[in-house]
């Protein structure tokens, strides 16, 4: 008889940063995007747990091991009165998938959205990840087929920024 799989979800603490970074690297490896992960533990401490934290994180623990995470940040939408919650990362270690861990993390994210007054949780999903797409649809997320995600980066960002002729008022 198989024993029930037990885990719990909680808010991440600064001491969880090494585990969060381990999971972030695993997520990036799965997306062939390790080159894009540049944050250090000091960055995570400052940006996730400092006085001006820009994101929050939730972890799923099995025993004394962190096996999953969700990271979120608040966004301001000009047409909405207040912030909305943006789900940045959702990841569960391969050996612990299909056990309700991601769903429990998603439940916690939804509860957090409600706690901060966000009417939605916004997220993006890679087009080459049908398992994640199915998970989010099963959780009740709806794709916005009229929207595409664009990113301005690298030399294109530099080129446009170099073309800016705005005179900035200097305070002083």
Number of other CB atoms surrounding residue 89 within 10 Å: 16
**Confidence at residue 86, expressed as pLDDT on a 0 to 100 scale:** 96
**Confidence at residue 81, expressed as pLDDT on a 0 to 100 scale:** 86
**Confidence at residue 170, expressed as pLDDT on a 0 to 100 scale:** 59
Measured over the CA atoms of residue 119, residue 142, residue 105 and residue 85, the dihedral's sign is negative
In a domain, 49, yes or no: yes
The answer to whether the beta carbons of residues 23 and 93 sit under 8 Å apart is: yes
**Confidence at residue 172, expressed as pLDDT on a 0 to 100 scale:** 53
In a domain, 27, yes or no: yes
Question: Could you list the residue range(s) of the whole structural domain that residue 68 is in?
Answer: 8-143
Could you read off the pLDDT tens digit of each residue along the chain, which spans 172 residues?
A: 556 789 999 999 999 999 999 999 999 999 989 988 999 999 999 999 988 999 999 999 999 999 999 999 999 988 888 899 999 999 999 999 999 999 999 999 999 999 999 999 999 999 999 999 999 999 999 999 898 888 898 999 999 998 988 766 555 5
**Confidence at residue 2, expressed as pLDDT on a 0 to 100 scale:** 52
**Confidence at residue 3, expressed as pLDDT on a 0 to 100 scale:** 62
In a domain, 151, yes or no: no
Q: How many domains does the chain have?
A: 1
The CATH number of the domain holding residue 37 is: 3.40.630.30
Q: How far apart are CA 53 and CA 111, in angstroms?
A: 19
In a domain, 156, yes or no: no
């Amino acid at each position: 008889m198989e024993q029930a799989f037990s885990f719990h979800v909680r808010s991440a603490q600064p001491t969880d940063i090494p585990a969060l970074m381990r999971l972030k690297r695993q997520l990036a490896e799965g997306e062939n995007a390790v080159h894009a992960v540049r944050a250090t533990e000091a960055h995570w401490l400052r940006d996730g747990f400092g006085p001006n934290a820009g994101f929050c994180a939730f972890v799923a623990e099995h025993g004394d091991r962190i096996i999953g995470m969700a990271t979120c940040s608040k966004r301001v939408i000009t047409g909405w009165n207040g912030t909305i919650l943006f789900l940045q990362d959702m990841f569960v270690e391969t050996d612990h998938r299909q056990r309700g861990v991601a769903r429990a993390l998603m439940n916690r994210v939804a509860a957090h959205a409600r706690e901060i007054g966000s009417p939605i949780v916004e997220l993006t999903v890679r087009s080459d990840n049908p398992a994640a797409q199915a998970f989010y649809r099963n959780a009740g997320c709806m794709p916005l087929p009229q929207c595409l995600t664009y990113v301005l980066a690298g030399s294109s960002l530099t080129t446009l920024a170099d073309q800016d002729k705005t005179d900035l008022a200097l305070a002083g």
